[in-house]
Amino acid sequence: MDTELTPRQTFFNLPPDKQQRVLEAAVQEFSERGYQQASINTIVSRLNIAKGSIYQYFDSKKSLFLFIFNQGIAMVRQMLKQVKKESQGEDFFTRVRKSLMAGVEFIDKHPALYRVYLRILFERDSPLREDFLQTIRLFSREYILSLLEEGQARGEVRKDLDPVLAVFILDAVLDKFLQNYALPYLDPALELNEKKGLEEKIDSIVTMLRQGFAAADGI
Amino acid sequence: MDTELTPRQTFFNLPPDKQQRVLEAAVQEFSERGYQQASINTIVSRLNIAKGSIYQYFDSKKSLFLFIFNQGIAMVRQMLKQVKKESQGEDFFTRVRKSLMAGVEFIDKHPALYRVYLRILFERDSPLREDFLQTIRLFSREYILSLLEEGQARGEVRKDLDPVLAVFILDAVLDKFLQNYALPYLDPALELNEKKGLEEKIDSIVTMLRQGFAAADGI
DNA sequence: TTTTAATATGACCACCTGGTCATATTATGG
DNA sequence: CCATAATATGACCAGGTGGTCATATTAAAA
C-alpha cells in the first residue's frame, strides 16, 4: 500500500532513449489490456530486459502505471491551455471547433496514451481511478465552461442556458467524437478513420450545435 | 474455440428461480469486474454451488457471458420498439425526451446489466465484442435515424442536417447521459443520482438541442 | 425395491500473475 | 589493477485462474 508513486532513481539514471523505450512499451501494454490485465511479463519480454530490471526502475506495477498516467494528464492540460491562449478573442463556436481539432491532433500524436484513458474510464480496479477521472473531468469541464462564459459575455451564446447542462452537451459530443476517432469501429458510419472530410464533419457538428435541430420557417 | 454458445440442456431443466439466481450472480460479477477479470470461482462461491456444477450448465465462461449479453440486447431492442410504438405521431423532440426517460427506467430496472455493457465498450478482450457493439450501435443509430426522418417529414426538424452527423450528436448526448446516470461519479456536477429534477434536466437538454446554442436577437 | 439415468461435487491440473532476491555483470574511482 | 558501488538477471514463490473428471448423491423408471 505504501509503494512509492514515482520511479526510482535508477530509472532516471538510464539513458533517456531507454527511459522512453520503457515508457512506450508500458503505455502500449496498458492501452492494449487495461490496468489489471496488463502483464509485466509481456512488457519486459518486449523490451528484452529481465523481469527484475523493471523492478529496479519502479516499485510496482501500480507505480509504473501512475507515473505514465500522470504524465498523460499533464500533456492534455498543457495542450488545452495552449489552444485557449491561441484562440483568445475568437468566436465561441470557432474555439469549440479548434478544441476538437486539437483533440484529434493529440490522438494522432499519442494514440496509445489516449486508449489508456479510455480503458481506465470503465475499469473499476485501476488504481486511483476515481481521482484521475475527477481530475480530468474537472479541468475538461472547466475549460469548456470558461469558453462558454466568454461566449455569453460576448453575446454569441444564449444567456438562458443552464451552464452545467450546456457544458455537459458540449463535453459529451466532443468526448464521443474523439472516442470514435480513436476507435473507428465504434461507429463505422461516421467514417472517422478517413482523414479526408474530417474538418468538414467537425464544422457540420459545430454548426448543428450552434443553430439547433428545430426547423426554422421554410427549412 | 468450438464451444457451444447456448446453455446446456441441464441448465434449462433447472427450476426457473435457480436459473435466474445463476444468471443474476453472473451478471453481477461481470458488471463488477468485466469479462476477463470476472471469476467463475467467485460466481459459484456466491451461489453456494460447486464449481463443477456451473460447467454442467454452460460449456465455458465465454458461453455464459454470451448468453447473458444476448439476453440483454434483446431486452433493449424490445424496449426501444415499444417506446417508438407508444410515441407514434408525437413531436420529434418529445420522442427524444421519452426515449431518454425510457433509458433511465431501463437502467433502474437492470443496473448491473447496463454496467456490463459499459465494461465491454472498452475491454478489448471480451468475446465477440466488436460484433456486439456493432449490433447495438446499429440498431441504436437506426432507431434515432427513423425518429429523425419522421421529424423531418413532419417539418419539425431542419431538412439540411446531415443525417449521419445529426444521429451522431443525438446518440452521443443520450448515451453519455445514461452513462452518467449509471455512474454518477463520472460527473458529480450533473447530480444525476438525485431523482428530483431529473425530468427537468432532460427537458433542458432536449430544448438546447432543439433551439441551439447561438444567441438569438436580444437573448 | 432395484436399476438406470441425471445432477452435484470439489480435489486436482496446467498455466499465468506480480513480486523477490541471491548472484552475476558492469561502471566508477582510487 | 583493485575495490566498491550500481545495475542486470532469471529461477523461484505464493496465489489466483478456467477447466476437468472420477465419484457421490439424488431422481426417475421399472
Structural domain boundaries enclosing A192: 69-211
List of chain A residues whose C-beta atoms are within 8 Å of the C-beta of residue B159: 215, 219
Question: For chain A, what is the domain count?
Answer: 1
In a domain, residue A123? The reply is: yes
Q: Is residue B59 part of a domain?
A: no
Task: Collect contacts of B88-95 with beta carbons under 8 A, ≥24 apart.
Answer: B91/B151, B91/B156, B92/A213, B92/B147, B92/B148, B92/B150, B92/B151, B92/B154, B92/B156, B92/B157, B93/A213, B93/A214, B93/B151, B93/B156, B93/B206, B93/B207, B93/B209, B93/B210, B95/B147, B95/B151
Structural domain contains residue A10:
no
Note whether residue B13 is domain-resident: no
Q: Give the three-class secondary structure for A157.
A: strand
Q: Which nucleotide is nearest to B33 (CA to C1')?
A: D17
Nucleotides of D under 7 A from a protein CB: 6-12, 16-22
pLDDT, greater one: A40 or A3:
A40
* B136 domain residue, yes or no: yes
pLDDT band for position A1 (cuts 50, 70, 90): very low
Query: Does the pLDDT of residue A147 top 60, yes or no?
Result: yes
User: Is the per-residue pLDDT at A4 higher than 70?
Assistant: no
Residue A3 vs residue B38, higher pLDDT: B38
Number of Cβ within a 10 Å radius of residue B196: 7
Q: Report the pLDDT value the prediction gives residue B3, as an integer from 0 to 100.
A: 57
Mean predicted confidence (pLDDT) in B103-120: 95
Give the list of residues 6+ apart from residue A126 with CB closer than 8 angstroms, or none.
Answer: A34, A35, A36, A65, A119, A120, A132
pLDDT in tens, A100-118: 999 999 999 999 999 999 9
pLDDT of residue B132: 86
With beta carbons under 8 A apart, name residues in chain A contacting B213: 92-93, 157-158, 161, 166, 209-210, 212
C8 closest protein residue (CA to C1')? B53
State the Cα–Cα distance between residues B173 and B144, nearest whole angstrom. Answer: 12
Domain presence at residue A19 = no
Residues A167-217 pLDDT 10s = 999 999 999 999 999 989 888 899 998 889 999 999 999 999 999 999 986
Per the structure block, which three cell numbers stand in for A49? 530486459
Q: Residue A3's pLDDT band (boundaries 50, 70, 90)?
A: low
Q: What percent of chain A has pLDDT over 70?
A: 97
Mean pLDDT, chain B, as a whole number? 93
Q: Does some domain include residue A6?
A: no
For residue A207, the model assigns a pLDDT of 98
* Residue B55: pLDDT over 50: yes
Q: Is residue B7 part of a domain?
A: no
In 3D space, the residue among B18, B17, B11, B15 whose CA is nearest the CA of residue B48 turns out to be B18
d(CA A78, CA A74): 6
Q: pLDDT tens, A39-49? A: 999 999 999 99
Can you tell me the mean pLDDT for A40-67? 98
pLDDT at position A160, please? 96
B137-193 pLDDT, tens digit per residue, is 888 999 999 999 999 999 999 999 999 999 999 999 999 999 999 989 888 899 998
Residue the block writes with cell 472516442: A179
Total residue count of chain A as it appears in this document: 219
Partner-chain contact A134 B219, CB within 8 Å: no
A152: which chain B residues are within 8 Å (Cβ-Cβ)?
Answer: 215
pLDDT beyond 90 at B218: no
Window 48-107 of chain B: CB closer than 7 A to strand C:
49-53, 55-57
Q: What is the CATH number of the domain that holds A110?
A: 1.10.357.10
